[in-house]
């Protein structure tokens, strides 16, 4: 028999913020990168999102550009050390619902896979922490143990679709019985590929995509977790827009 899989995004789906942002802050705290990079560029992007004046998807993409340029030239040992600090201190800052679903799928013997736009050196550590079967993150390219500034991204829908196809072949996965969990528009292909898509605290852009796609509209379970309450809502909840 083919295997049942559960594909999980991490940032905003499992982790209650962004591992990339946490790592950025850690690098600043240790004075590894210039703090002015945060205050002159990243903080503005963060505050616009924090005040709900920018879309979440755009916020993450803009921040990723700043993060990657800031990381260029840093050695692998430093990145590994600061990454361990992030995981040790922050890895349990996760949504209760998602954590319980990972546990459920592992107990059922399902193939549990992380597919995340976060850096691969952070995703690998989260994968070990939660005992999942496999993982893939954005691949950061190093030469002579120094980050080159080049990245093979895993935060967009097209690359996540390619990753799923590779995992299907590797683990002989039956998508008609499988699950996927995501929160942004970059997770659309992942959600559309399975019989049991779940959107967790979906962004505005993802909710629009769900409402405009007949398959996703019919199949997607939408989970909203706030404080210590978990809500299961219909896809036709209002999408806020500002003129």
Structural domains in the chain, CATH included, are 5-233 (3.40.50.1000)
- Cα separation, 93 vs 121, in Å, equals 18
pTM of the model: 0.90
Is residue 59 within 8 A of residue 49, CB to CB? The reply is yes
23-58 confidence digits (pLDDT tens): 988 998 898 987 776 666 666 666 766 666 566 667
What's the average model confidence in pLDDT over 202-224? 94
Tell me, what's the pLDDT at 156? Answer: 86
Under the phi-then-psi rule, with left for phi > 0, alpha for psi from -120 to 50, and beta for the rest, what region is 110? beta
- Number of helices and strands (H, E) in the chain? 11, 8
pLDDT tens, 100-153? Answer: 999 999 999 999 999 999 999 999 999 999 999 999 999 999 999 999 999 998
């Amino acid at each position: 028999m083919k295997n049942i899989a559960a594909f999980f995004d991490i940032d905003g789906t499992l982790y209650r913020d962004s591992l990339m942002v946490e790592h950025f802050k850690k690098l600043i705290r240790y004075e590894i990168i210039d703090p002015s990079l945060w205050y002159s560029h990243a903080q503005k992007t963060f505050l616009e999102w924090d005040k709900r004046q920018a879309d979440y998807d755009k916020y993450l993409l803009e921040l990723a550009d700043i993060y990657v340029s800031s990381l260029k030239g840093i050695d692998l040992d430093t990145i590994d050390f600061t990454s361990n600090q992030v995981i040790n201190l922050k890895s349990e800052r996760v949504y209760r619902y998602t954590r319980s679903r990972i546990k459920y799928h592992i107990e059922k013997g399902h193939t549990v896979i992380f597919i995340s736009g976060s850096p691969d050196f952070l995703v690998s550590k989260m994968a070990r922490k939660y005992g999942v079967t496999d993982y893939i993150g954005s691949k950061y390219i190093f030469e002579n143990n120094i980050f080159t500034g080049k990245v093979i991204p895993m935060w967009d829908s097209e690359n996540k679709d390619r990753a799923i196809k590779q995992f299907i072949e590797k683990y002989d996965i039956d998508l008609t019985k499988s699950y996927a969990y995501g929160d942004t528009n970059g997770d659309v292909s992942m959600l559309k590929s399975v019989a049991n898509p779940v959107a967790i605290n979906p962004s505005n852009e993802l909710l629009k995509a769900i409402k405009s796609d007949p398959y996703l509209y019919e199949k997607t379970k939408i989970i909203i977790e706030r404080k210590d309450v978990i809500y299961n809502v219909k896809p036709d909840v209002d999408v806020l827009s500002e003129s």
